[in-house]
Amino acid sequence: MRALFPHPVLSSSFWVMWLLLNGFTPGHAILGFFVAAGAGLAFTSLAPEPVRIGSVRAVVELFFRVVADIFWSNIAVCKIILANPKERQAGFVTISLQLRGRLPLAILACIVTSTPGTAWVNFNPATGVLLIHILDKEGEEEFRTVIKQHYERLLMEIFT
């Protein structure tokens, strides 16, 4: 049974979501079952690393920090765009990270990309150097501090 459903929670979640989105009919129940089973098998090919949460407090703190930073970044980007866009200087910032796991790096990429005014450009796994594009290079050093102290520190606390 484990060979057919290597990720039973994921497969059952897909099946329930399928039924909620498409309505419960016998045809959709059968089709959704096969789609969910296929999705669970496909997820196995991604070879996800096991997740062990080290600190629930750090998860909660990271969540609220990200929400607050996204809020304040929206306001800062609005000010930059509405005030005088010719005076701002966009550019690239490099940050040396200690973070190495695929999942923590993926979460950091989602955080950086969802924050207005920033975009994840590249991460070199050999050197641990992250390249990010920011809308305003005036706060470059503050931005490095936010990434290192707020996000990387909490992600390392969560995943180690």
For 32, residues 6+ apart whose C-beta sits below 8 A from its C-beta are: 14, 15, 18, 19, 22
More confident position, 71 or 139: 71
What interhelical angle do 26-45 and 8-22 show, nearest 10? 140
Domain range annotation of the chain: 8-45, 56-159
Q: What is the pLDDT of residue 16?
A: 92
Reply yes or no on whether the pLDDT at 85 is more than 70.
no
From CA 89, how far away is CA 75, in angstroms rounded? 17
CB 117 within 8 A of CB 81: no
- Sheet (strand 91-96) strand order: 91-96, 129-134, 118-124
- Would you place residue 24 in the very low, low, confident or very high pLDDT band (cuts 50, 70, 90)? confident
Reply yes or no on whether the pLDDT at 1 is more than 70.
no
